[in-house]
């Protein structure tokens, strides 16, 4: 047997063979190049989104084959199975849609959505979705508190490429570190080809049941838009995001939005529309000015796809910076969480007009700007004077622990190693102070 094995190896020993470099794998077939997988009658792509009232509501969305009706059954969760006897049923709104996706010009699916209302604050609910005969498993979520109780949320940059094969490990490690996160924000470019249903399928598979138990809160990136720019046809069908953007502006519905969550005002800015759409740019600036001027929350986080200060040496988002930085400075926005540049950088930047290079050294107070990437696509990172921490070719996720006294931010790599950490506190002047933290034990 051994002789036959050696003969098959051309006379080489196993050790010699193991030292040979593996042949490079062929480039993987893009998800959008494969035939589209139609939905079945069984619920799939189940996802939660926060509403404008996260203490009393939760939005649920899923899809099935066309022609299927949708219901949600839900009840307060219990330690045992008796909650099922108290479950109530509510009908979903169903969009039996035919849309043009990259893989098929007439793709059919039924998208179901509902907002569960009248919920109790700080309460765990169990729910399932289906048509009355075919049901998902029972899933659970927790409503928000009505007061500024401490909580944690996750922040992810671009997943975009090789979503299921490589970006998924970042998402899954994030939930190992912060499985009790209240919600997850995605700073755009969730997929690569905006209208690829297969790529959206990979994004949903990367998170799986986690998306159905922890609300996901995305803002669009340039890869969610096609030419025009036109938002991908799945966005408003597969998400039920807060309709808290500029009043009466249909183009910004569920792309620019805000949620107040336990002492934090979270704001999604539709950054791709800052380039080439003057009307939408003006609408968002007016809307943001009002949101920031009348903000009862201790903390404010603004998140968007395009960085105000690009960390890629060949990029400069001047129109975004010119529109937003005066508002960030005027109202002392605490955190600006971004993506797009496929690298990592973090630093506090002072007030006043600036070029893309930013200040020559990091600050210990003011608004903190972050850029991160969750997926495997990487760009070079410039030599950044303003950054307290930067890294290239590193997939990361970020945890943010929010309390009335402080925000503690930690960035971790896809392997779970702590890359960066800082604490924000505020004095009587309302200006955030930044303290860089050392790695915790076992996380260096």
- pLDDT per residue as tens digits for the range 333-376: 999 999 999 999 999 999 999 999 999 999 999 999 999 999 99
Please report, rounded to a whole number, the percentage of residues in the chain having pLDDT higher than 70: 93
- When the pLDDT of each residue in the chain is averaged and rounded to a whole number, the result is 93
Q: Which option is the CATH number for 151-436: 3.30.497.10, 3.40.640.10, 3.60.21.10, 2.30.110.10?
A: 3.60.21.10
What is the mean pLDDT of the segment spanning 139-154?
99
What is the mean pLDDT of the segment spanning 322-327?
98
The predicted-structure confidence for 219-266, as pLDDT tens digits, reads as follows: 999 999 999 899 999 999 999 999 999 999 999 999 999 999 999 999
Give me the long-range contacts of 136-142 (CB less than 8 A, separation at least 24).
136/42, 136/43, 136/46, 136/62, 136/212, 137/209, 138/84, 139/46, 139/209, 139/212, 139/213, 140/77, 140/213, 141/48, 141/58, 141/213, 141/214, 141/215, 142/182
Overall pTM > 0.85: yes
Is pLDDT of 189 > 80?
yes
pLDDT of 30: 72
The total of other beta-carbon atoms located within 10 Å of residue 202's CB is 22
What is the mean pLDDT of the segment spanning 267-292?
96
Cis upstream peptide for 229 (omega within 30°): yes
Q: Where are the domains of the chain?
A: 44-142, 151-436
pLDDT of 28: 57
What is the mean pLDDT of the segment spanning 83-110?
97
What is the mean pLDDT of the segment spanning 135-155?
99
Judge if 44-142 and 151-436 fold alike in CATH terms. Answer: no
Answer positive or negative: Cα dihedral of 103, 104, 110, 113: positive
pLDDT of 360: 94
The predicted-structure confidence for 4-49, as pLDDT tens digits, reads as follows: 443 444 444 333 334 444 445 555 567 777 778 899 999 999 999 9
More confident residue, 82 or 441: 82
Domain at 44-142: CATH code: 2.60.40.380
What is the mean pLDDT of the segment spanning 304-332?
97
């Amino acid at each position: 047997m051994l002789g036959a094995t050696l003969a098959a190896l051309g006379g080489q020993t196993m050790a010699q063979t193991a030292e040979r470099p593996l042949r490079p794998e062929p480039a993987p077939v893009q998800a959008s190049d494969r035939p589209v997988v139609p939905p079945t009658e069984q619920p799939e792509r189940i996802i939660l989104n926060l509403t404008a009232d996260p203490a009393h509501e939760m939005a649920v969305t899923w899809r099935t084959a066309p022609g299927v009706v949708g219901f949600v059954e839900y009840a307060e969760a219990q330690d045992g199975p008796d909650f099922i006897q108290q479950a109530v049923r509510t009908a979903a709104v169903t969009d039996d849609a035919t849309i043009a996706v990259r893989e098929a010009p007439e793709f059919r699916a039924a998208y179901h959505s509902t907002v569960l209302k009248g919920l109790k604050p700080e309460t765990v609910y169990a729910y399932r979705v289906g048509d009355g005969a075919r049901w998902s498993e029972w899933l659970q979520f927790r409503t928000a508190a009505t007061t500024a109780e401490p909580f944690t949320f996750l922040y992810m940059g671009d997943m975009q490429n090789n979503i299921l094969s490589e970006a998924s490990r970042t998402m899954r490690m994030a939930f190992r570190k912060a499985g009790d996160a209240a919600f997850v924000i995605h700073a755009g470019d969730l997929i690569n080809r905006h209208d690829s249903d297969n790529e959206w399928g990979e994004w949903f598979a990367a998170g799986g049941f986690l998306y159905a138990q922890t609300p996901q809160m995305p803002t669009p990136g340039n890869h969610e838009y096609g030419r025009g720019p036109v938002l991908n046809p799945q966005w408003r069908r597969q998400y039920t995001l807060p309709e808290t953007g500029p009043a009466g502006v249909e183009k910004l519905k569920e792309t620019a939005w805000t949620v107040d969550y336990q002492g934090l005002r979270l704001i999604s800015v539709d950054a791709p529309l800052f380039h080439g759409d003057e009307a939408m740019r003006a609408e968002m600036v007016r809307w943001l000015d009002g949101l920031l001027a009348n903000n009862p929350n201790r903390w404010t986080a603004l998140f968007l796809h395009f960085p105000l200060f690009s960390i890629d040496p060949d990029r400069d988002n001047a129109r975004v910076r010119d529109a937003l930085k005066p508002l960030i400075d005027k109202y002392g926005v605490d955190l600006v969480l971004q993506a797009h540049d496929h690298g990592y950088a973090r630093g506090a930047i002072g007030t006043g007009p600036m070029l893309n290079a930013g200040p020559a050294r990091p600050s210990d107070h003011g608004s903190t700007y972050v850029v991160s990437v969750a997926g495997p696509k990487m760009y070079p990172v410039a030599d950044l004077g303003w950054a307290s921490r930067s890294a290239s070719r590193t997939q990361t996720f970020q945890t943010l622990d929010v309390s009335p006294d402080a925000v503690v931010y930690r960035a971790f790599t896809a392997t779970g190693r702590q890359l960066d950490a800082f604490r924000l506190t505020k004095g009587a002047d309302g200006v955030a102070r930044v303290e860089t933290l050392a790695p915790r034990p076992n996380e260096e």
